[in-house]
Amino acid sequence: MAENENKKNNMKSGARKNVRRNKNTRSNNKKQKNNIFKKSKLKIIPLGGLHEIGKNITVFEYENEIIIVDCGLSFPEDDMLGVDLVIPDITYLEKNKDKIKGMVITHGHEDHIGAIPYFLKQINVPIYATKLTVGLIKNKLQEHKLLRSTKLHEIQQGSKIKLGNFTVEFIRSSHSIPDSVMLAITTPAGTILHTGDFKIDYTPIDGKIMDFGRIAELGKKGILALMSDSTNAERKGFTMSESSVGEVFDKLFLHCTKRIVVATFASNVHRVQQIVNCAIKYNRKIAVCGRSMINMITTAKDLGYIDCPDNIFIDIDMIKNYPDENLVLITTGSQGEPMSALTRMAAGDHRKVKITSNDLIIISATPIPGNEKYVSKVIDDLMQIGAEVVYSSLEAIHVSGHACQEEQKLILALAKPQYFIPVHGEYRQLRAHSETAQDMGIEKQNILMMANGRILEINEDGAEFTGSVQSGRVLVDGLGVGDVGNIVLRDRQHLSQDGLIVIVLTMDSASGTVVSGPEVISRGFVYVRESENLMDEVKSVVRNEIRKCEQQGVRDWSTIKSVTRDTLRDYIFMKTKRNPMIIPIIMEI
């Protein structure tokens, strides 16, 4: 009996120990799982689009997987002489190309898709975008002969795709181009809502209102971070609806007996639709000028984004067959770009269109900062010809495609993010957006001000900046990508400001004496025939310097060139207070 009691007690004691051991094991397993989860943070690395307008590209990296959102370009600044385009530096992605699962695009504007062909020449990745965006990307890839080698996936608004650990949902949005989307990027670390470019338009031209319900639903589930468009963050109030522009067009078309020429952004398909609507209503045919406008309208028509009769559009060569009161021309050049169709019309250089006093020109855009002087010159030139010009200062013929402060507040209210990251804008715009977020109750320490190249590691337990990667700009000049750097730009600036002097002379390689020359060639500095005295003095300075080198026994051509260049630079500056680029050329016999 006693032995049986002892056995029972030992069994109970062992069972209690096993229970405690099992509890400890489960507790340790939980701790291990939590530790593993804490280590896996989502990395967000913008490579463009911050502290600038354009060149948008953002990297999302979780463990050994990467997705890319957008891949845009920007246009050269005034000091980038001869440069055609500016694209992002993707060195970091080239080093990690085996991790990339795909590229996801928010909409079809150049600052979000323009660099895709240059990217694909370095790294071939599948691309996911909505219908119109895919159509516009296809046009680019055809130009660069990349269409066959690229996997393009057309995604419906409201759909989800799975890319490794990333689930990306395409949420219907509103912008100045159809088929724009916000992206809900779900990872094990949490959900990021990336707005892309957006505005809130309750009466959009295509009737497709932003999916506020889905944004609110995600907000209830919990959004880790909201990355939101900051372009108009300094503007109070609301952005006007695109449909308000149609009412102004209707007023301008009514009773107008002149030929109407409308300049707008090629990508603004909704604006083009409203021009088409007015043309149909007032019995006018439409001709299109400008390569980018023709490409955009052709693509939008083929994909069903412009609703119009087949015979409304005519070839530009046919306009002479119609009276002015039955014509509308849609053209590029709303920003006064030097080679655009409207600028050439204003200068009288357009081969197909001659502006007369019987033209009504509508510039349906506001100048992008920096373009004001170009737009003003075009308006002046058109008015001097005698045309009537209507622009944004006179009529409300343009509305922005970006949200103002009250619209940004609505997205913040619906999303209720744990962290807020202002994107897409210069620093002052990001700063203004962060202040709006604080007004909406987001704590200052949870607002993350990012910069291109900085690595943000984030999950629900915290967010921190952990370093940086290579980022910046790559300049495209003709067929050359990246071969124009700061030194080349500096030389171009030097040449444009001060001109060039080339000194050519022939020397005997054995004796070091001058056989012929020096000859002086000047470009952009002075005209040689009108400044013979100065050129003779320049030749005399060169001869004296060569003679000194000869007397000192200097035979090294590079030393002779360097000494001659320095002496001549000082002499010319003393005489003219100008500093041209000087290139000595020594030929030896």
Q: Which of 138-142, 299-303, 407-411, 536-540 holds the top average pLDDT? A: 407-411
**List of residues 6+ apart from 530 with CB closer than 8 A:** none
For residue 489, is pLDDT > 70?
no
Of the candidate ranges 78-92, 171-185, 276-290, 509-523, the one whose mean pLDDT is the lowest: 509-523
Decide if 434 is inside a domain.
yes
* The predicted structure's pLDDT at residue 170: 98
What are the structure tokens assigned to 365, written together? 């855009």
Q: In 3D, which of 97, 93, 106, 50 has the Cα closest to residue 74?
A: 50
Of the candidate ranges 91-100, 475-484, 562-571, the one whose mean pLDDT is the lowest: 475-484
257 band by pLDDT with thresholds 50, 70 and 90: very high
Residue 209 sits in the same domain as residue 93: yes
State how far Cα 193 lies from the chain centre. 20
Decide if 80 is inside a domain.
yes
Question: Among 343, 367, 390, which residue terminates a domain?
Answer: 390
Q: Is 200 helix (H, G, I), strand (E, B) or coil?
A: coil
Decide if 51 is inside a domain.
yes
* The predicted structure's pLDDT at residue 570: 83
Question: Which alpha helices (H) appear in 445-577, and where do they start and end?
Answer: 486-498, 532-551, 557-576
Q: Which of 109, 112, 194, 402 is catalytic?
A: 402
Question: Among 390, 420, 436, which residue terminates a domain?
Answer: 390
Residue 33 sits in the same domain as residue 46: no
Query: Where residue 427 sits, what CATH number does that domain have?
Result: 3.60.15.10
**Bigger pLDDT: 204 vs 473:** 204
**Bigger pLDDT: 534 vs 176:** 176
Residue 253 sits in the same domain as residue 334: yes
Residue 178 sits in the same domain as residue 210: yes
Residue 34 sits in the same domain as residue 46: no
* The predicted structure's pLDDT at residue 551: 67
Query: Where residue 520 sits, what CATH number does that domain have?
Result: 3.10.20.580
* The predicted structure's pLDDT at residue 69: 97
* The predicted structure's pLDDT at residue 25: 46
Q: Distance of CA 331 to CAs 142, 228, 361, Å? A: 23, 32, 10
* The predicted structure's pLDDT at residue 33: 45
Residues in the chain: 589
Decide if 565 is inside a domain.
yes
Q: What is the largest CA-CA distance in the chain?
A: 133
Average pLDDT, integer, range 147-169? 95
Burial bucket for residue 293 (CB in 10 Å: 0-12, 13-18, 19+): buried
Q: What is the per-residue pLDDT across 515-535, written as a single tens digit (0 to 9) for each? A: 676 787 777 776 555 566 777
Residue 111 sits in the same domain as residue 200: yes
* The predicted structure's pLDDT at residue 17: 47
Residue 280 sits in the same domain as residue 383: yes
Q: Is 212 helix (H, G, I), strand (E, B) or coil?
A: helix
Decide if 491 is inside a domain.
no
* The predicted structure's pLDDT at residue 37: 43
70 is catalytic: no
Determine phi and psi for 152, rounding to 5 degrees.
-105, 125
For residue 68, is pLDDT > 80?
yes
Residue 227 sits in the same domain as residue 368: no
Determine phi and psi for 42, rounding to 5 degrees.
-85, 130
2 band by pLDDT with thresholds 50, 70 and 90: very low
Residue 89 sits in the same domain as residue 174: yes
* The predicted structure's pLDDT at residue 530: 54
**Bigger pLDDT: 491 vs 185:** 185
484 band by pLDDT with thresholds 50, 70 and 90: low
Is the Cβ–Cβ distance between 466 and 457 less than 8 Å? yes
Q: What is the C-alpha separation between 429 and 534, in angstroms, rounded?
A: 53
Query: Where residue 272 sits, what CATH number does that domain have?
Result: 3.40.50.10710
Q: What is the C-alpha separation between 521 and 527, in angstroms, rounded?
A: 9
Mean pLDDT of the residues in the chain: 86
Is the Cβ–Cβ distance between 62 and 166 less than 8 Å? yes
How many folded domains does the chain comprise? Answer: 4
**Bigger pLDDT: 210 vs 524:** 210
229 is catalytic: yes
Q: What is the C-alpha separation between 8 and 10, in angstroms, rounded?
A: 5
Residue 570 sits in the same domain as residue 558: yes
Q: What percent of the chain has pLDDT over 70?
A: 85
**Bigger pLDDT: 347 vs 586:** 347
Q: What is the C-alpha separation between 191 and 183, in angstroms, rounded?
A: 10
* The predicted structure's pLDDT at residue 343: 93
Is the Cβ–Cβ distance between 474 and 57 less than 8 Å? no
Decide if 466 is inside a domain.
yes
Of the candidate ranges 150-164, 372-386, 405-419, 504-518, the one whose mean pLDDT is the lowest: 504-518
Question: Among 358, 390, 422, which residue terminates a domain?
Answer: 390
pTM assigned to the model: 0.80
Domain of residue 21 covers 1-39
Decide if 197 is inside a domain.
yes
For residue 512, is pLDDT > 70?
no
Average pLDDT, integer, range 19-43? 54
For residue 26, is pLDDT > 70?
no
Q: What is the C-alpha separation between 412 and 65, in angstroms, rounded?
A: 29
> Do the bridges between strand 500-507 and strand 581-588 make them parallel or antiparallel, or are there none, so unpaired?
parallel
Residue 76 sits in the same domain as residue 200: yes
Q: What is the C-alpha separation between 268 and 261, in angstroms, rounded?
A: 16
In the numeric block, the tokens 């406008």 are attached to 293
Q: What is the C-alpha separation between 223 and 169, in angstroms, rounded?
A: 13
Q: Which of 70, 111, 179, 229 is catalytic?
A: 229
Residue 155 sits in the same domain as residue 256: no
Average pLDDT, integer, range 568-584? 80
* The predicted structure's pLDDT at residue 565: 81
